[in-house]
Amino acid sequence: MQPTVPSADGTITSPYSVEETIRRLDEVVRGKGLTVFARIDHGSGAREVGLDMQDEQVLIFGNPRAGTPLMVARPLVGLDLPLRVLVWSASDGRVWASYQDSAFIARRYGLPDGLEKNISAVAAVVEAALRPSR
């Protein structure tokens, strides 16, 4: 059964494997001067405890200069920061990159006008990483 993707997420199909997509995301993030805080390999974690699941990894990244003003204004936005992209393999073999849409995050936490721009780069990061001409 294919999972339902919430409308608050941006989800884009990737022409690359999960591993290659994460590598490309990491490269773009670092190239934009952002900090990679963590890379979590859910699939590997599952296999380590004898469970089977599709490949799935999360890249967590951001910029404290951009995120801190949001958390000062609305501390609970820290539930969604730093930014993250989930890269996962569906049962049909397709690979997807999913992320929280910045407008959704802004509405969810009632961010003051002008602060959404601080987190709007996530869509551009994903699109740049998946661009075949890179």
What 3-state class would DSSP assign to 51?
A: coil
Collapsed DSSP state (helix, strand, coil) of residue 107: helix
* Domain ranges within the chain, ordered by starting residue: 9-129
At residue 7, the pLDDT reads: 54
pLDDT for residue 1: 42
Rounded Cα distance between 14 and 96, Å, is 5
Predicted local confidence at residue 16, as pLDDT: 97
The single residue listed with the structure tokens 């994903």 is: 126
17 token code pair: 């494997």
pLDDT confidence of residue 133: 63
Residues 15, 81, 79, 22, Cα dihedral to 10°: 20
SS3 75: helix
What is the CATH number assigned to the segment(s) 9-129?
A: 3.30.310.70
- The pLDDT of residue 84 is 97
42/22 Cα distance (integer angstroms): 13
Determine the pLDDT at residue 9.
78
Q: pLDDT 10s digit of each residue in the chain, 134 long?
A: 445 444 557 999 999 999 999 999 999 999 999 999 999 999 999 999 999 999 999 999 999 999 999 999 999 999 999 999 999 999 999 999 999 999 999 999 999 999 999 999 999 999 999 998 65
The rounded radius of gyration (Å) of the Cα atoms in the chain is 15
* Other Cβ atoms closer than 10 A to 91: 9
pLDDT score of 132: 86
| Helix (H), strand (E) at residue 86 | strand 83-89
